[in-house]
Amino acid sequence: MNKKTNHNLLLEMEEIKGLKLFLTLFYLFLIGYDFIYFYVFPYYTNQEIGLPAGGLDYWYHLLFVPILFISFNLIKRGKVHTVKYLYLFSYIVVDLINIFLIYYGTDINFATGNAAELVFIFFSSLFINKKFFWVTLTGIVSKYVAIGVVLFRFENVIEPISLYGLLAIISYILLTRFSSNLNAHLKVNDELRQAEQLATVGQIATSITHEIRNPLTSLKGLTQLQMEKHPEDIEYYQIMTHELERINSILDDLLVIGRPKQMVFEMNNLQELIEYVGSIMDYNRVEQAVEIFTEVEGNLPEVECNSTQIKQVLINIFKNGIEAMPAGGNLFVKVEKQKDDYIKITVTDEGDGISKENLELIGNPFHTTKSGGTGLGLMVSFKVIEEHRGEIYYDSEQEKGTTVTILLPIYQKRR
């Protein structure tokens, strides 16, 4: 499970818990407040008992019964966020209708509001949702503004607007604190989960590295022998030798991927690195009828990086882009200088794209959409870019292709 999915799941669980408490308190305050205000309080003060004449009367509360059943249905359908907005707008509409029926065209002393509004104000922070907070505050304040405009009783609505403004400040402070604490807990959980995944990868890598390196040594020796016998093909044998060394380097990376290591950075020409990667992928692209178009900005500065690892990242991305176009297509590579001393590398394919679900899981170990894949290639790529103090982004839409963006600093700031 990736960070975003993990965050969404935890937030949804907390949202459901908060929603249950919200519904309980909403009905308790809505009915309990009116019962005390219109029946209990007048009884002990010898005032007129009962709901105000001319309004919705008992329908004011009964109208929220079907809304409760609608909310149950929405929760079952997974639309948890919709329920709180349903109650907010329903309350505002019903309360406005009730107020206008009671006070419009009369001289009755104005007295309105319900403790249920406090539930909306404070639960906007407990829901840890800034959008709901601002919608709630805007909705309730707008309700009182509408009352003042329609009934011409501005002096009666200044007090509740001021009160809710003050309560909103308190609620927003709580919202900020709750959000900060939740993000901190989620970050810790993600780091622990990632550490567990990296430990698993390390164990697997350790167990298979020895078995892989033995045949690699034999292949490298045979390649050198063939290179001596056929000097006319030395260019191809050099590429084979470099690739065997790269495989060995990948094994080293897998062994230390779970722990930091001191990397060796040198100034490198990115255009040369990309051309080299293009030559490596030449057979794959021809086999799948893919054309690679490279656009490199003029006077591009050299970049301080580990050339072996950057090659590995580019090979992974090029290979994925080519494999995403089994029927052929174009792979566009663009390299340009960005502000703040960064180089931007953009690789765009014309493949089938990546679904939203898989896009969220990119970079997680063992997650792959390829048959026989391990999911470690992109995980290593993300780790390499992170070690270079760079950033890597995936943007994709199904049936429209995928764009991979890499930002690399020109110079590495020493730790």
Together in a domain, 225 and 178: no
Query: What pLDDT shows up at residue 233?
Result: 83
Together in a domain, 183 and 322: no
pLDDT band at 1 (very low <50, low <70, confident <90, very high): very low
Together in a domain, 9 and 94: yes
Final residue of a structural domain among 144, 176, 191: 191
The tens digit of pLDDT for each residue in 60-110 reads 888 999 999 998 888 888 788 888 889 999 999 998 998 888 888 887 777
In a domain, 357, yes or no: yes
Together in a domain, 15 and 162: yes
Query: What pLDDT shows up at residue 353?
Result: 82
Helices and strands of the chain, counted as H and E runs: 14, 7
Report yes or no: 124 and 173 within 8 Å, Cβ to Cβ: no
Residues 360 and 354: their CA atoms lie apart, in Å, by: 10
Taking 80 as the threshold, does the pLDDT of residue 11 lie above it? Answer: no
Residues 106 and 103: their CA atoms lie apart, in Å, by: 5
Taking 50 as the threshold, does the pLDDT of residue 372 lie above it? Answer: no
**What residue has token string 């919705």?**
56
Higher pLDDT among residues 262 and 5, named by residue: 262
Top-ranked range on mean pLDDT: pick from 109-113, 145-149, 214-218: 145-149
Final residue of a structural domain among 256, 280, 311: 256
Together in a domain, 135 and 245: no
- Cα dihedral 319, 320, 321, 323 in deg (nearest 10): 80
pLDDT band at 267 (very low <50, low <70, confident <90, very high): very high
Residues 37 and 159: their CA atoms lie apart, in Å, by: 19
In a domain, 393, yes or no: yes
| Statement: the pTM of the whole predicted model exceeds 0.85 | no
Higher pLDDT among residues 110 and 277, named by residue: 277
Residues 302 and 240: their CA atoms lie apart, in Å, by: 26
pLDDT band at 346 (very low <50, low <70, confident <90, very high): very high
Q: How many domains does the chain have?
A: 3
In a domain, 415, yes or no: no
Residues 153 and 112: their CA atoms lie apart, in Å, by: 12
Query: What pLDDT shows up at residue 408?
Result: 92
User: Which of 62-66, 259-263, 267-271, 346-350 shows the lowest mean pLDDT across its residues?
Assistant: 259-263
Q: Residue 128 corresponds to which tokens in the numbers above?
A: 């840890």
**What residue has token string 């014309």?**
350
In a domain, 261, yes or no: no
Supply the angle between the helices 80-103 and 3-35 in degrees, to the nearest 10: 30
Together in a domain, 39 and 102: yes
Single-letter amino acid, residue 52: P
Together in a domain, 279 and 400: yes
Together in a domain, 47 and 76: yes
Cite the beta strand spans of 72-223 per DSSP E: none
Together in a domain, 25 and 166: yes
Together in a domain, 76 and 33: yes
Q: Which domain holds residue 251?
A: 193-256
pLDDT band at 9 (very low <50, low <70, confident <90, very high): low
In a domain, 414, yes or no: no
**3-state SS class at 296:** strand
